[in-house]
Amino acid sequence: MKKEKLKKWQELPIGGLILDMGNSSETQTGDWNPNRLVWNEDTCTHCLLCWINCPDASIKVEDSKVIGIDNYHCKVCGICVEVCPTKPKSLEIISEEVA
């Protein structure tokens, strides 16, 4: 089989352009996961450890208190569950099938 001549980098089409800066919140990055994060308001002490550790800014906070989860962007990584100090945990990962 004849090997195709590789293009030089200057000949490659331009890709990966981000035309609108600061638009990440418009993309639903959490909709691929079959699991979902659930917050328990009754046991939460609003220590905000989950909020400060979340890599996706998916813990919704208002007036220094947790008010819910942004499930459109939460990737269910579980970091917030790990750091939550309450017993039982105030954050839980559940399967979407039983939600």
Q: Which residues pair with 39 in a beta bridge?
A: 91
Q: Specify whether the CB–CB gap between 91 and 84 falls below 8 A.
A: yes
Q: Name the minimum Å distance from CB 21 to ligand SF4.
A: 22
Q: Does 91 bind ligand SF4 (CB under 6 A)?
A: yes
Question: Which of 34, 35, 56, 61 shows the shortest CA–CA distance to 46?
Answer: 61
Token pair recorded at residue 93: 């990962």
The footprint of ligand SF4 on residues 68-87 (CB under 6 A) is 69, 74-80, 83-84, 86
Binding letters toward ligand SF4, positions 29-58, x by CB under 6 A: --------x-x----xxxxxxx---x-x-x
Measured CA to CA, the distance from residue 27 to residue 35 in angstroms comes to 18
Q: Specify whether the CB–CB gap between 39 and 91 falls below 8 A.
A: yes
The footprint of ligand SF4 on residues 4-23 (CB under 6 A) is none
Could you list the residues that contact ligand SF4 (CB under 6 A)?
37, 39, 44-50, 54, 56, 58-59, 66, 69, 74-80, 83-84, 86, 90-91
